[in-house]
Protein backbone atom coordinates (compact mmCIF):
# COMPACT_ATOMS: atom_id res chain seq x y z
CA UNK A 1 0.00 0.00 0.00
CA UNK A 2 2.86 2.35 0.81
CA UNK A 3 4.35 1.71 -2.63
CA UNK A 4 1.06 2.65 -4.32
CA UNK A 5 0.88 5.93 -2.39
CA UNK A 6 4.54 6.61 -3.25
CA UNK A 7 3.77 6.12 -6.95
CA UNK A 8 0.74 8.38 -6.55
CA UNK A 9 2.90 11.08 -4.97
CA UNK A 10 5.44 10.75 -7.77
CA UNK A 11 2.70 11.06 -10.36
CA UNK A 12 1.28 14.18 -8.68
CA UNK A 13 4.75 15.73 -8.41
CA UNK A 14 5.60 14.94 -12.03
CA UNK A 15 2.27 16.38 -13.22
CA UNK A 16 2.79 19.53 -11.13
CA UNK A 17 6.33 19.91 -12.42
CA UNK A 18 5.13 19.61 -16.02
CA UNK A 19 2.32 22.11 -15.39
CA UNK A 20 4.69 24.71 -13.91
CA UNK A 21 7.24 24.14 -16.68
CA UNK A 22 4.53 24.67 -19.31
CA UNK A 23 3.09 27.70 -17.48
CA UNK A 24 6.54 29.23 -17.06
CA UNK A 25 7.35 28.66 -20.74
CA UNK A 26 4.08 30.22 -21.94
CA UNK A 27 4.47 33.17 -19.54
CA UNK A 28 7.99 33.78 -20.86
CA UNK A 29 6.81 33.46 -24.47
CA UNK A 30 3.98 35.97 -23.96
CA UNK A 31 6.22 38.35 -22.06
CA UNK A 32 3.28 39.87 -20.16
CA UNK A 33 4.07 38.56 -16.68
CA UNK A 34 6.22 40.44 -14.21
CA UNK A 35 9.55 39.26 -12.83
CA UNK A 36 8.09 38.47 -9.42
CA UNK A 37 5.43 36.19 -10.92
CA UNK A 38 8.04 34.41 -13.07
CA UNK A 39 10.44 34.10 -10.12
CA UNK A 40 7.74 32.54 -7.90
CA UNK A 41 6.76 30.06 -10.63
CA UNK A 42 10.43 29.19 -11.20
CA UNK A 43 11.04 28.65 -7.47
CA UNK A 44 7.95 26.40 -7.24
CA UNK A 45 9.12 24.49 -10.33
CA UNK A 46 12.59 23.96 -8.84
CA UNK A 47 11.15 22.93 -5.46
CA UNK A 48 8.76 20.41 -7.02
CA UNK A 49 11.59 19.07 -9.20
CA UNK A 50 13.81 18.62 -6.14
CA UNK A 51 11.10 16.78 -4.21
CA UNK A 52 10.37 14.60 -7.24
CA UNK A 53 14.03 13.69 -7.62
CA UNK A 54 14.23 12.86 -3.90
CA UNK A 55 11.15 10.62 -4.18
CA UNK A 56 12.56 8.85 -7.23
CA UNK A 57 15.87 8.32 -5.40
CA UNK A 58 13.99 6.95 -2.35
CA UNK A 59 11.98 4.61 -4.58
CA UNK A 60 15.17 3.34 -6.24
CA UNK A 61 16.77 2.81 -2.82
CA UNK A 62 13.69 0.94 -1.55
CA UNK A 63 13.65 -1.29 -4.62
CA UNK A 64 17.31 -2.18 -4.10
CA UNK A 65 16.69 -2.92 -0.41
CA UNK A 66 13.67 -5.05 -1.28
CA UNK A 67 15.66 -7.02 -3.88
CA UNK A 68 18.44 -7.57 -1.35
CA UNK A 69 15.94 -8.85 1.23
CA UNK A 70 14.36 -11.17 -1.33
CA UNK A 71 17.80 -12.52 -2.18
CA UNK A 72 18.61 -12.98 1.50
CA UNK A 73 15.29 -14.77 2.10
CA UNK A 74 15.94 -17.08 -0.85
CA UNK A 75 19.37 -17.97 0.48
CA UNK A 76 18.00 -18.56 3.98
CA UNK A 77 15.18 -20.74 2.62
CA UNK A 78 17.76 -22.77 0.71
CA UNK A 79 19.90 -23.10 3.82
CA UNK A 80 16.87 -24.14 5.89
CA UNK A 81 15.95 -26.78 3.34
CA UNK A 82 19.53 -28.05 3.43
CA UNK A 83 19.43 -28.27 7.25
CA UNK A 84 16.08 -30.08 7.11
CA UNK A 85 17.38 -32.56 4.53
CA UNK A 86 20.51 -33.19 6.61
CA UNK A 87 18.31 -34.01 9.59
CA UNK A 88 16.22 -36.34 7.43
CA UNK A 89 19.45 -38.14 6.50
CA UNK A 90 20.40 -38.45 10.19
CA UNK A 91 16.97 -39.92 10.86
CA UNK A 92 17.55 -42.40 7.99
CA UNK A 93 14.39 -41.38 6.14
CA UNK A 94 13.90 -42.93 2.72
CA UNK A 95 13.46 -40.50 -0.19
CA UNK A 96 9.68 -41.05 -0.07
CA UNK A 97 9.57 -40.51 3.69
CA UNK A 98 11.67 -37.36 3.34
CA UNK A 99 9.26 -36.02 0.73
CA UNK A 100 6.29 -36.83 2.98
CA UNK A 101 8.02 -35.18 5.95
CA UNK A 102 8.71 -32.03 3.96
CA UNK A 103 5.11 -31.82 2.79
CA UNK A 104 3.91 -32.37 6.37
CA UNK A 105 6.16 -29.54 7.58
CA UNK A 106 4.73 -27.32 4.84
CA UNK A 107 1.29 -27.98 6.30
CA UNK A 108 -0.33 -30.10 3.60
CA UNK A 109 -3.05 -32.49 4.70
CA UNK A 110 -2.75 -36.23 4.17
CA UNK A 111 -5.29 -35.97 1.37
CA UNK A 112 -3.36 -33.15 -0.33
CA UNK A 113 -0.09 -35.07 -0.03
CA UNK A 114 -1.71 -38.17 -1.53
CA UNK A 115 -3.05 -36.13 -4.43
CA UNK A 116 0.30 -34.39 -5.00
CA UNK A 117 2.20 -37.70 -4.96
CA UNK A 118 -0.54 -39.58 -6.82
CA UNK A 119 -0.75 -42.31 -4.19
CA UNK A 120 -3.44 -43.51 -1.82
CA UNK A 121 -4.01 -41.63 1.40
CA UNK A 122 -3.35 -44.86 3.32
CA UNK A 123 0.16 -44.99 1.82
CA UNK A 124 0.81 -41.42 2.95
CA UNK A 125 -0.41 -42.24 6.47
CA UNK A 126 1.90 -45.28 6.66
CA UNK A 127 4.88 -43.25 5.47
CA UNK A 128 4.02 -40.42 7.87
CA UNK A 129 3.92 -42.95 10.73
CA UNK A 130 7.38 -44.15 9.69
CA UNK A 131 8.62 -40.53 9.67
CA UNK A 132 7.25 -39.95 13.17
CA UNK A 133 8.79 -43.19 14.46
CA UNK A 134 12.23 -42.48 12.97
CA UNK A 135 12.23 -38.84 14.08
CA UNK A 136 10.87 -39.51 17.55
CA UNK A 137 8.14 -36.94 16.97
CA UNK A 138 4.58 -37.57 18.09
CA UNK A 139 2.98 -35.94 15.03
CA UNK A 140 3.15 -33.26 12.38
CA UNK A 141 3.09 -30.39 14.88
CA UNK A 142 6.03 -31.78 16.82
CA UNK A 143 7.86 -32.46 13.54
CA UNK A 144 7.38 -28.85 12.42
CA UNK A 145 8.24 -27.55 15.89
CA UNK A 146 11.51 -29.48 15.81
CA UNK A 147 12.79 -27.24 13.02
CA UNK A 148 11.07 -24.04 14.16
CA UNK A 149 12.54 -24.31 17.66
CA UNK A 150 15.98 -24.71 16.12
CA UNK A 151 15.45 -21.55 14.07
CA UNK A 152 14.12 -19.59 17.04
CA UNK A 153 17.08 -20.51 19.20
CA UNK A 154 19.41 -18.97 16.59
CA UNK A 155 17.64 -15.58 16.59
For the residues 47-55, what does the mean pLDDT come to?
92
Q: What is the torsion angle, in degrees rounded to the nearest 10, for the CA atoms of residue 50, residue 55, residue 60 and residue 63? A: 170
The pLDDT value recorded for residue 98 is 95
Closest CA to 38 of 52, 53, 20: 20
What number does CATH give the domain 91-153?
A: 1.10.10.10
For the residues 28-55, what does the mean pLDDT come to?
90
How does pLDDT run across 67-77, given as a tens digit for each residue?
999 888 888 77
**Angle subtended by helix axes 95-105 and 110-117, to nearest 10:** 130
Most confident stretch, 28-42, 91-105, 136-150: 91-105
How distant, in Å, are the alpha carbons of 23, 38, 64, 110, 129 from that of 48? 14, 15, 24, 59, 66
CB atoms within 10 A of CB 131: 25
Q: What is the pTM of this model?
A: 0.57
The pLDDT value recorded for residue 74 is 82
Please tell me the distance from the alpha carbon of residue 83 to that of residue 99, in angstroms, as a whole number: 14
Domains of the chain, by residue range, sit at: 2-70, 91-153
Amino acid sequence: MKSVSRYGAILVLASSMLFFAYDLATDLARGKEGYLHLAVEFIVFVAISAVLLRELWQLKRLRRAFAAEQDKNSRLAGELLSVIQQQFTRWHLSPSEAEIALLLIRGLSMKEIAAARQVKEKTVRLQASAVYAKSGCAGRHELSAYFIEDLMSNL
